[in-house]
């Protein structure tokens, strides 16, 4: 058996497990799509001030450009879908498996650790791509959002962002003491950032804005908006977005390589 076919076998097994597990499939896939339908319906026909905010006279200021809500929220919900598949679901499933001794069992086999990681990461990226594609289709046909402005760039950003959040997911498992704590640690580490990174609406608060800009979620959203054509002030690649995102990816990878645990923690 070559390394490649072993890795592909792992990806296949991961995909099977994912779609057969109702909890994983819901929280790792259907959850953001549900919000796509909810927000798409609530804010239908409204506008959003991208990269700026509405002042008290209702004008889009602060360097922002006004776009239809659907144009904005289809890429942000797609970004959330990537986060869900690559960060939330990966961190939870790896922690659960570590605690159940599944990772320990694999360490006793000749399966190379890298092949296992390729399996879970590859599977997460596939799920992310399916989520993004479905978000696009629903957004386009149900809420008349435009197709992505830059197809190739969108694909690259989804895969790149997905890989960064996979690395961060592996890193965050180091902080999660046991499976019971997984959902709390994972949610606290990303849900507040979704709101202050402006995934759902724009707002005017420099402090929250500055906090958001420290973290990769904000920059991933920016990169997605750019690629999908929702940031009218920017076109093509924006290296600034990617810099912070990639730096976090490197940090995540370094932590995961150094501190990742295969063994369950026993009392």
Number of residues that bind other proteins (CB under 8 A): 23
Q: Give the CB-side neighbour count of residue 223, counting CA atoms within 13 A.
A: 29
Nearer to other proteins, 18 or 248 (CB): 18
- By CB under 8 A, is residue 152 in contact with other proteins? no
CA distances from 165 to 80, 131, 245 (A): 11, 15, 9
Measured from the CB atom, the residue of 117 and 230 that comes closer to other proteins is 117
Binding of residue 150 to other proteins (CB under 8 A): no
- Return the residue of 109, 236, 239, 258 that touches other proteins, per CB under 8 A: 109
| Spatial distance between the Cα atoms of 260 and 256, rounded to a whole number of angstroms | 5
Measured from the CB atom, is 123 or 153 closer to other proteins? 123
Is position 260 an interface residue for other proteins (rule: CB under 8 A)? no
236 binds other proteins (CB under 8 A): no
| 114 part of the interface to other proteins, by CB under 8 A | no
Classify burial at 72, counting beta carbons within 10 Å of its beta carbon; exposed 0-12, middle 13-18, buried 19 or more.
buried
- For the bound state, the minimum distance from the C-beta of residue 212 to other proteins, rounded and expressed in Å, comes to 36
Does 107 participate in binding other proteins (rule CB under 8 A)? yes
Question: Is residue 187 a contact point for other proteins (CB under 8 A)?
Answer: no
- The three-class DSSP label of residue 174 is coil
Of the candidate spans 9-17, 169-177, 188-196, 205-213, the one that interacts with other proteins by CB under 8 A turns out to be: 9-17
Best CA proximity match to 121, nearest among 175, 161, 180: 161
- The contacts of residue 241 (CB under 8 Å, 6+ apart) are 219, 220, 222, 223, 226
Give the phi and the psi of residue 126 in degrees, each rounded to 5.
Answer: -60, -45
**Contact status: 258 vs other proteins (CB under 8 A):** no
Nearest CA among 64, 30, 37, 33 for reference residue 201: 64
Write out the residues near other proteins by the rule CB under 8 A: 1, 5-6, 9-10, 13, 16-17, 20-21, 97, 100-102, 104-105, 107-112, 263
């Amino acid at each position: 058996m070559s390394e490649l076919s072993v890795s592909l076998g792992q990806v296949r097994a991961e995909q099977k497990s994912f779609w057969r597990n109702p909890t994983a499939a819901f929280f790792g896939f259907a959850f953001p799509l549900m919000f796509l339908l909810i927000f798409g319906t609530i804010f239908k026909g409204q506008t959003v001030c991208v990269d700026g905010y509405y002042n008290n006279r209702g004008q889009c200021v602060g360097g922002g450009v006004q776009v239809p809500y659907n144009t904005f929220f289809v890429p942000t919900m797609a970004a959330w879908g990537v986060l869900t598949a690559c960060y939330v679901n990966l961190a939870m499933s790896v922690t659960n498996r570590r605690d159940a001794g599944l990772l320990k069992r694999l360490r006793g086999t000749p399966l190379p650790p890298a092949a296992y990681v390729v399996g879970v990461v590859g599977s997460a990226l596939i799920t992310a791509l399916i989520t993004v594609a479905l978000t696009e289709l629903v957004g386009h046909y149900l809420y008349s959002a435009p197709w992505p402005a830059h197809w190739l760039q969108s694909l690259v950003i989804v895969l790149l962002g997905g890989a960064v959040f996979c690395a961060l997911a592996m890193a965050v498992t180091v902080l999660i003491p046991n499976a019971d704590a997984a959902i709390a640690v994972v949610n606290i580490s990303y849900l507040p950032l979704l709101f202050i990174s402006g995934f759902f609406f724009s707002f005017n608060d420099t402090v929250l804005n500055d906090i958001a800009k420290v973290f990769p979620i904000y920059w991933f959203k920016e990169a997605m908006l750019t690629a999908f054509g929702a940031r009218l002030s920017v076109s093509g690649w924006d290296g600034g977005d990617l810099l912070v995102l990639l730096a976090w990816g490197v940090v995540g990878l370094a932590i995961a390589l150094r501190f990742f645990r295969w063994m369950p923690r026993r009392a």
